[in-house]
Structure 1
Amino acid sequence: MKIIVTEKISESGIEYLKKHAEVDVKTNISREELLGIIKNYDAIIVRSATKVDRELIEKGEKLKVIGRAGNGVDNIDVSSATEKGILVVNTPTGNIVAAAELTVGLMLAIARNIPQAYHAGLNGDFRRDKFKGVELKGKTVGIIGFGRIGSLVAARLAAFNMRVIAYDPYMPDSRFEKYGVEKVTLDELLQQSDFITIHLPKTEETKKMIGEKEFKKMKKGVRIVNAARGGIIDEKALYNAIKEGIVAAAGLDVLEVEPKYNVERQDFHNPLLELPNVVFTLHLGASTYEAQENIGISIAQEVISALNGNLYGNIVNLPGVKSDEFSQLKPYMRLAEAMGALYYQINETPVRLVEVIYRGEISRTNTEIVTLYALKGFLKPVLEEDVSVVNAKLRAKEMGIEIVEGKIEEIDHYSSLIILKITDTHGKTTQFAGTTYGEEIRIVEYMDHKVNFEPTENMLFVKNKDVPGVIGHIGNVLGDFGINISTMQVSPNKNDGTALMIVSTDKEIPDEAVESLNKLNSIIKARAVKGLI
């Protein structure tokens, strides 16, 4: 495995990477050079400066993992990575304490005019009356975004005896109750807050969500902190709100367009930085020794884990699964993939609907990733290497296939059962079902036949007339091609005089062998299937 690191991470992180892979650290690499060499790497690790866009991803012919040393991924084209089946991992908790503490620091700075007083003193101006501020005690602080960092900020500001309110439509009421925070609407927050602090990712939904209309709803003299992402606040609207006296002060660690943070002198201009009541820090949210150590080690572990095929942890473009859940679900993932891989090897009719139904104990677990494995297996015979668990759902939707997941706790005979029901464009349904016994996987239903077989690498499925001699005929044909039968199972259908024969072999069954079998009078249809494990 080969990994390129384009921005600085801790030495501990680099050392961890080097124990498991070949590593090139190129922190000053140009865009042109990176585009030229990315084809040689299995993974890339970046922070916020390197743009991992569609062009770079397309040129990364071997790329399997993109690692973001930090939380936000707005410099990574996650959609393009997903299309290509590339995992995107990050370290959302590595710098949360640092970011929360900086937020409080900025709030104190703009409340008490600390940076302005410092610079006045340096320049010989000791008129302290110019820098009279306000206390946090008794004030209302509104937190927009109540995730990991927002909740840490709430806990710290409560210690200042502030009234803490928060807006986050995606968080349950229980989270607000846990931190003793009042849940409000965005309008209520804007109207009631003396201080506002933002803790959101930058998305299409949040881009410039605090603009001219929102500033007009705020209290006169409000103070605003943004240590999240530049562009969430409309900077022109903020500038005007400060000039008009609506906003008394702003503490910003981020800007919509930021300077290069590794250059001493540069031509950079932002009107906000000309205002005396704006405190700007150099995107320092994660800039503590502790945070950088945490982030460096965490991203190294995440990237190596992902390269080794472990689909748990902080994967941005897969459903979240914990390590112990992943181990518990692993046999079901193998089972779902094997059942999915059956359909297009025994049927050519296009599909309009895939239903994955979980019964019994497994219905009480996080099954979303198991469904992705079923889709991966289902699509791989027709899309070959262009499908993975990362892009399987996207590929299915591109093909016009509806995906439905269902859960039923009641079950007979088995502790857990997965049912894969596939409906083609003519309305015909094909169904498979399977279960597990520890690490062993078994398919127990195959197209209306009750069976019990273990999927293997090379298999033969034969629908035949239920007459004497069929087993011998099949054995003779396979023998002519030098193929040994490993296991065989027969499931007769007494209603129509046919039987299903399921055969595992020691090697791949060539098309010529299948053609020979289909010429036999006793054979209705023979299909060779491969790659179920």
Structure 2
Amino acid sequence: MAPRVLVSDKLSPTAIQIFRDRGIEVDYLPDVGKDKEKLLEIIGQYDGLAVRSATKVTEKLIKAAKNLKVIGRAGIGVDNIDIHAASRRGIIVMNTPFGNSITTAEHAIALMFAVARQLPEADQSTRAGKWEKNRFMGVEITGKVLGIIGCGNIGAVVASRAVGLKMHVLAFDPFLSEARAQELGVRKVELDELLAKADFITLHTPLTDKTRGILNAETLARTKPGVRIINCARGELIVEKDLVEALKSGHVAGAGIDVYEKEPATDSALFDLPNVVCTPHLGASTTEAQENVARQVAEQMSEYLTKGAVSNAINMPPITAEEAPRLRPFIKLAEVLGAFVGQVTDEPIQEVEILFDGSTAAMNTRALMSAALAGLIRPQVADVNMVSAPIMVKERGIIVSEVKRDKSGIFDGYIKLTVRTSLRERTIAGTCFSDGRPRFIQIKGINLDAEVGPNMLYVTNVDVPGMIGLLGTICGKHQVNIANFALGRNRPGGDAIAMLYIDGPIPQAAIDELVAQESIKDARPLEFNVGDA
């Protein structure tokens, strides 16, 4: 029986034809995504579901999707899909990471011009029969400083266009290397300098815990008086009420807003301000972009449903059925190693070296490297997957190298990740035991044996008596239960580390108390996606 796909949002006819040309039955019901009850009623009939942003793929819907094997998102954002629920049901979630980059970048530039010259308001005034030539005094773009927050794929396109407009471009992006910045013709800066110097600020960073509300009352107060702000990324990057106050006071001269804290945005305080240009999430709304993402999602879903090939999957590595049983635990290990370094490294990464020792050297190291890179940058780029991670790393000018060698130690095989920045070098190694679960076996050259759990506490300290008791006492005081405890040191009285597997997130008050101790150098809470570990 031929696979069946439901397209529940508006999608280009090109995508529908691609499904049919590949022998897949497709039902194009572009309005059913908005009808939750109807969608629940029919979803059990389908092997694939193709959506844009209107359809909300909830846990309830996924439970009803008895035959669903793949969900394809025509676009990059997967906020409308419950990834965890899909993963637990074995449903692959795919997106199309780069199909609308140029379109979104162009919309940001268009908003910048509209805000600079007050075009929408001038248009309304003129159509009303007025001739208020002196009222609409704008500012030039040429020679102004543009600050880009997030200089990945879309931000880089904005940068190239802005350089062509003779703007001076500053970029804040923890993953942007100096070499890549020079290639783009921008100057890499810290956020404080960007806020202080930019005449225009445009946001192109993904929404993560670190970037949520990156422009708020405190950071807006540090911006240059008269700054103009553009947001075509995610509404939650800006605290809207704080932006409204800054616009009313005149500190922020204008804003171009395409995305909002809550969408659809039918009632916003921003709508009442004359110095704001608002559009209804049009960043990806061009004929070319919609054709690109529609074609890509149809091709990816068809390849999986007819051949088992996986590409641009959010929750599954690109591996063949033959190698899956042995490779999958090491895919998770590589991702965990990358996630560790990504969470403890604050400065920009310049180089990444991945060593495959023993049996791991004979595996699909390309998949393993992609998993490690995805884990490495996921703290900053939430939607990254194993396919897009190498591209994003390359765009940021990070040098990646691979080393393979025969078995050199007591382990049959292990993976070692080394990351270099301008300030330091970090190393971590791990392996998988017979139970298939990842374990840390070396950190900063110090040997240990630490089982990896969803929530962990990483402590660096001076090797002094009583450290175990101190850590246990502070954790107990803050109701933090320790499931496992691993220690290591380089020499008696020297540098030491502790890895604690804990039952849940550790309160910030506990972290503050730990770092206040004279013998503790640093303490960091860590989170890892280890499934049921």
TM-score, reference length from structure 2: 0.62
* Cα displacement (A) at 1:202: 2.4
Q: Which of the residues 21, 25, 28 maps onto 2:28?
A: 25
Aligned to 1:237: 242
SS at the partner of 1:409?
Answer: strand
Aligned to 2:44: 39
Q: Which of the residues 122, 128, 153 maps onto 2:133?
A: 128
Aligned to 2:267: 269
Aligned to 2:186: 181
Give the alignment of 1:334-373 within 5 angstroms: 334-335=322-323, 337=325, 357=357, 362=362, 365-368=365-368
* Cα displacement (A) at 1:121: 0.3
Q: Which amino acid aligns with 1:366?
A: R
Is 2:154 aligned against 1:166? no
Aligned to 2:392: none
SS at the partner of 1:128?
Answer: coil
Task: Tell me how far apart the structure 1 counterparts of residues 279 and 8 of structure 2 sit (CA, whole Å).
Answer: 23
* Cα displacement (A) at 1:90: 1.1
The 1:361–1:424 alpha-carbon spacing in structure 2 relative to 1, beyond 3 Å, is closer
SS at the partner of 2:11?
Answer: coil
Task: Tell me how far apart the structure 2 counterparts of residues 171 and 311 of structure 1 sit (CA, whole Å).
Answer: 32
Is 2:409 aligned against 1:411? no
Aligned to 1:299: 297
Aligned to 1:483: none
Aligned to 2:455: none
Task: Tell me how far apart the structure 1 counterparts of residues 403 and 158 of structure 2 sit (CA, whole Å).
Answer: 41
The gaps in structure 2 that reach 5 residues or longer are: 330-354, 373-384, 386-401, 416-430, 440-533
Aligned to 2:159: 154
Aligned to 2:349: none
Please tell me whether the aligned partners of residues 257 and 279 of structure 2 are also in contact (alpha carbons under 8 angstroms).
yes
Give the alignment of 1:178-327 within 5 angstroms: 178-259=183-264, 268-308=266-306, 310-319=308-317
Task: Tell me how far apart the structure 2 counterparts of residues 192 and 115 of structure 1 sit (CA, whole Å).
Answer: 27
SS at the partner of 1:142?
Answer: strand
Task: Tell me how far apart the structure 1 counterparts of residues 287 and 83 of structure 2 sit (CA, whole Å).
Answer: 29
The 1:119–1:55 alpha-carbon spacing in structure 2 relative to 1, beyond 3 Å, is same
Task: Tell me how far apart the structure 1 counterparts of residues 296 and 433 of structure 2 sit (CA, whole Å).
Answer: 43
Please tell me whether the aligned partners of residues 327 and 363 of structure 2 are also in contact (alpha carbons under 8 angstroms).
no
* Cα displacement (A) at 1:191: 1.4
Is 2:97 aligned against 1:92? yes
* Cα displacement (A) at 1:422: 5.7
The 1:64–1:112 alpha-carbon spacing in structure 2 relative to 1, beyond 3 Å, is same
Task: Tell me how far apart the structure 1 counterparts of residues 15 and 434 of structure 2 sit (CA, whole Å).
Answer: 49
Is 2:117 aligned against 1:112? yes
SS at the partner of 1:129?
Answer: coil
Q: Which amino acid aligns with 2:186?
A: V
The 1:310–1:184 alpha-carbon spacing in structure 2 relative to 1, beyond 3 Å, is farther
Aligned to 1:59: 64
Please tell me whether the aligned partners of residues 252 and 278 of structure 1 are also in contact (alpha carbons under 8 angstroms).
yes
The gaps in structure 1 that reach 5 residues or longer are: 261-267, 342-354, 373-389, 391-406, 430-533
SS at the partner of 1:8?
Answer: coil
* Cα displacement (A) at 1:361: 6.5
Task: Tell me how far apart the structure 2 counterparts of residues 422 and 291 of structure 1 sit (CA, whole Å).
Answer: 42
Task: Tell me how far apart the structure 1 counterparts of residues 286 and 112 of structure 2 sit (CA, whole Å).
Answer: 18
The 1:226–1:335 alpha-carbon spacing in structure 2 relative to 1, beyond 3 Å, is closer
Task: Tell me how far apart the structure 2 counterparts of residues 149 and 166 of structure 1 sit (CA, whole Å).
Answer: 12
Please tell me whether the aligned partners of residues 360 and 414 of structure 2 are also in contact (alpha carbons under 8 angstroms).
no
Aligned to 1:8: 10
The 1:59–1:361 alpha-carbon spacing in structure 2 relative to 1, beyond 3 Å, is same
* Cα displacement (A) at 1:175: 2.4
Task: Tell me how far apart the structure 2 counterparts of residues 69 and 370 of structure 1 sit (CA, whole Å).
Answer: 22
1:376-402 Cα offsets, whole Å, 9 max, x none, are xxxxxxxxxxxxxx9xxxxxxxxxxxx
Task: Tell me how far apart the structure 2 counterparts of residues 220 and 22 of structure 1 sit (CA, whole Å).
Answer: 57
1:84-134 Cα offsets, whole Å, 9 max, x none, are 222111112211111111111000000111111111100011111111111
The alignment covers a number of residue pairs equal to 361
1:303-362 Cα offsets, whole Å, 9 max, x none, are 11233454543222235x6xxxx6xxx5xx735626989xxxxxxxxxxxxx99556965
Identity of aligned residues (%): 40
Give the alignment of 1:421-436 within 5 angstroms: 423=433
Please tell me whether the aligned partners of residues 10 and 31 of structure 2 are also in contact (alpha carbons under 8 angstroms).
no
Task: Tell me how far apart the structure 2 counterparts of residues 290 and 103 of structure 1 sit (CA, whole Å).
Answer: 17
SS at the partner of 2:405?
Answer: coil
Task: Tell me how far apart the structure 2 counterparts of residues 289 and 110 of structure 1 sit (CA, whole Å).
Answer: 24
Task: Tell me how far apart the structure 1 counterparts of residues 78 and 18 of structure 2 sit (CA, whole Å).
Answer: 23
Q: Which amino acid aligns with 1:81?
A: A
The 1:306–1:186 alpha-carbon spacing in structure 2 relative to 1, beyond 3 Å, is farther
Task: Tell me how far apart the structure 1 counterparts of residues 30 and 369 of structure 2 sit (CA, whole Å).
Answer: 35
Please tell me whether the aligned partners of residues 220 and 247 of structure 1 are also in contact (alpha carbons under 8 angstroms).
yes
* Cα displacement (A) at 1:177: 2.4
Task: Tell me how far apart the structure 2 counterparts of residues 302 and 339 of structure 1 sit (CA, whole Å).
Answer: 22
Tell which structure's C-alpha radius of gyration is larger: 1
The 1:62–1:170 alpha-carbon spacing in structure 2 relative to 1, beyond 3 Å, is farther
SS at the partner of 1:71?
Answer: coil
* Cα displacement (A) at 1:66: 1.1
SS at the partner of 1:91?
Answer: coil
Task: Tell me how far apart the structure 2 counterparts of residues 27 and 6 of structure 1 sit (CA, whole Å).
Answer: 5
Please tell me whether the aligned partners of residues 356 and 371 of structure 1 are also in contact (alpha carbons under 8 angstroms).
no
Q: Which amino acid aligns with 1:334?
A: E
Aligned to 2:73: 68
Aligned to 2:447: none
Task: Tell me how far apart the structure 2 counterparts of residues 340 and 116 of structure 1 sit (CA, whole Å).
Answer: 56
- Cα RMSD, aligned residues only: 3.2
The 1:338–1:226 alpha-carbon spacing in structure 2 relative to 1, beyond 3 Å, is closer
1:462-505 Cα offsets, whole Å, 9 max, x none, are xxxxxxxxxxxxxxxxxxxxxxxxxxxxxxxxxxxxxxxxxxxx
Please tell me whether the aligned partners of residues 357 and 405 of structure 2 are also in contact (alpha carbons under 8 angstroms).
no
